[in-house]
């Protein structure tokens, strides 16, 4: 099978957030390399495109219910790929992972309740908690010998005051795939302090072949899982996500909130979930992508270590997001942002929105063609040398 990551795909001029958003939102020129938003520069699995084309050919695009076949597909996928048995009726549709998390927080907590997060973490975690007028309780991750770990002392203190815990698994942006031992400790603390665990597992299917993802709901049925085929199959723009909740009372409360917000799938969302999770060709495609991503991630890290000794990375265990430490550069986060855009001519996701610990970091999306990543490293090296930083 041909390489998935090295295929040519022109996204400029397609109203791509990642590519066209630089000019439209930030007034940056076309020569700035976009290595930020979490989608990748590849076509989705051909079998998914075929299914969507067949659906489009039917010409029927009315209001749509969540298909029982899609619920079955999610159940089968988790059973086959993640050793988690799910009742199909326990799967609810959502138009995105962030809306799903927002609706769960609204449904299962009250204004002023504490919600635990682990910074540095995906910025919408902060935004949805604050926007719901709940209290953010941060239990920051710690770094031990260059590896991010959960700080269980801080986590326990936060859980003592919390109603709900938003777990990012695998973690965005640091790329950790939590071990079964770590997740068992999370479950133990949640049960001890009566905290609802809500796991965002959207990057789970991009766990590298050398690693093993554990679905935390396989360790405790009183865990809510939110996920989607969005990242794994690069179909984020279809807004095809779901919630897995086995507790009847919670599911009814979540459904009530969703109904208030008129949550319904598009016809294409149903089609995409079914095609991604039931077509064996899509599954083989995904396994190849995972292998290519792990190889490319390792190559990019080696390239940075060889050519940019002032920058430091932690080696991710999943997905295509690389967390890079720029702390040795004598720049504030705002100065670094301007330097990257105006002189280096690359666009990364700034670390500050991920929490205080992200102040000196940038997140790089390596899910693109190898030559673009080599060009980004070359531009960084050139500008660092120009400033006499190396």
Rounded to whole angstroms, the Cα distance separating 230 from 244 reads 16
pLDDT of residue 389: 66
Give the pLDDT confidence of 235-248 residue by residue, as tens digits. Answer: 999 999 999 999 99
Tell me, what DSSP letter sits at residue 351?
S
- Once rounded to an integer, what is the mean pLDDT over residues 248-270? 97
Rounded to whole angstroms, the Cα distance separating 304 from 302 reads 5
Residue count of the chain: 390
Nearest to 169 by CA among 218, 225, 219, 230: 225
Rounded to whole angstroms, the Cα distance separating 360 from 357 reads 8
- What single string gives the DSSP state of each residue in 107-136? HH--TT-EEEE-SS--THHHHHHHHTTPEE
pLDDT of residue 388: 73
pLDDT of residue 1: 66
Question: Is 80 exceeded by the pLDDT of residue 77?
Answer: yes
Tokens matching residue 361: 């970091």
pLDDT of residue 353: 97
Distance (Å) of CA 374 to CA 136, 221, 304, 340, 390? 39, 45, 9, 16, 18
Rounded to whole angstroms, the Cα distance separating 387 from 340 reads 13
Which CATH architecture describes the domain 60-278? 3-Layer(aba) Sandwich (3.40)
φ/ψ of residue 330, rounded to 5 = -75, 65
Domain ranges of the chain: 17-45+282-384, 60-278
- Once rounded to an integer, what is the mean pLDDT over residues 260-275? 97
Q: Out of 3.30.420.40, 3.90.1150.10, 3.30.365.10, 3.20.20.70, which CATH number does the structure's domain 17-45+282-384 have?
A: 3.90.1150.10
| Beta strands at 241-244 and 223-227: parallel, antiparallel or unpaired | antiparallel
Within 8 A by CB and 6+ apart from 379, the residues are: 33, 344, 345, 346
Distance (Å) of CA 309 to CA 89, 170, 269, 304, 333? 52, 27, 44, 7, 19
Rounded to whole angstroms, the Cα distance separating 241 from 72 reads 14
- Residue 319 and residue 203 in contact, taking contact as beta carbons nearer than 8 Å: yes
Q: What's the mean pLDDT when you consider all of the chain?
A: 97
Question: Is 80 exceeded by the pLDDT of residue 213?
Answer: yes
Give the pLDDT confidence of 133-152 residue by residue, as tens digits. Answer: 999 999 999 999 999 999 99
Give the pLDDT confidence of 315-366 residue by residue, as tens digits. Answer: 999 999 999 999 999 999 999 999 999 999 999 999 999 999 999 999 999 9
Question: Is 90 exceeded by the pLDDT of residue 8?
Answer: no
Give the pLDDT confidence of 101-145 residue by residue, as tens digits. Answer: 999 999 999 999 999 999 999 999 999 999 999 999 999 999 999
Nearest to 244 by CA among 281, 202, 292: 202
- Residue 134 and residue 114 in contact, taking contact as beta carbons nearer than 8 Å: yes
pLDDT of residue 390: 57
Give the pLDDT confidence of 189-198 residue by residue, as tens digits. Answer: 999 999 999 9
């Amino acid at each position: 099978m041909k390489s998935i990551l090295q295929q040519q795909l022109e996204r400029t001029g397609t109203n791509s957030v990642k590519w066209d958003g630089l000019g439209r939102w930030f007034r940056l020129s076309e020569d700035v390399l976009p290595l930020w938003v979490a989608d990748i520069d590849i076509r989705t699995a051909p079998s998914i495109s075929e299914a969507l084309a067949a659906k489009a050919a039917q010409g029927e695009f009315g209001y749509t219910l969540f298909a029982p076949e899609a619920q079955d597909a999610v159940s089968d996928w988790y059973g086959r790929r993640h050793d988690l048995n799910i009742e199909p009726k326990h799967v609810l549709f959502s138009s995105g992972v962030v809306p799903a998390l927002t609706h769960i927080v609204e449904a299962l907590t009250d204004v002023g309740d504490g919600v635990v997060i682990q910074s540095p973490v995906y910025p919408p975690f902060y935004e949805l908690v604050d926007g719901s007028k709940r209290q953010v309780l941060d239990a920051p991750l710690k770094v031990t010998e260059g590896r991010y770990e959960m700080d269980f002392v801080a986590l326990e203190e936060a859980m003592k005051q919390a109603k709900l815990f938003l777990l990012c698994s695998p973690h965005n942006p640091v790329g950790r795939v939590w071990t079964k031992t770590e997740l068992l400790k999370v479950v133990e603390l949640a049960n001890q302090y009566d905290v609802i665990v809500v796991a965002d597992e959207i990057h789970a299917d991009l766990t590298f072949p050398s690693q093993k993802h554990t679905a935390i709901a396989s360790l405790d049925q009183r865990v809510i899982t939110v996920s989607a085929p969005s990242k794994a199959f690069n179909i984020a723009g279809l807004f095809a996500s779901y919630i897995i909740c086995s507790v009847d009372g919670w599911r009814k409360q979540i459904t009530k909130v969703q109904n208030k917000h008129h949550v319904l799938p598009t016809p294409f969302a149903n089609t995409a979930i079914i095609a991604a999770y039931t077509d064996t060709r899509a599954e083989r495609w995904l396994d190849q992508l995972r292998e290519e991503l792990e190889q490319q991630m390792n190559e990019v890290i080696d390239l940075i270590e060889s050519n940019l000794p002032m920058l430091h990375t932690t080696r991710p265990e999943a997905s295509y997001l690389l967390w890079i430490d720029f702390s040795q550069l004598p720049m504030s986060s705002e100065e670094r942002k301007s330097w990257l855009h105006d002189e280096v001519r690359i666009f990364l996701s700034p670390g500050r929105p991920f929490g205080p610990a992200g102040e000196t970091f940038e997140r790089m999306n390596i899910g693109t063609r190898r030559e673009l990543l080599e060009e980004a490293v070359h531009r960084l090296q050139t500008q660092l040398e120009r400033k006499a930083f190396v």
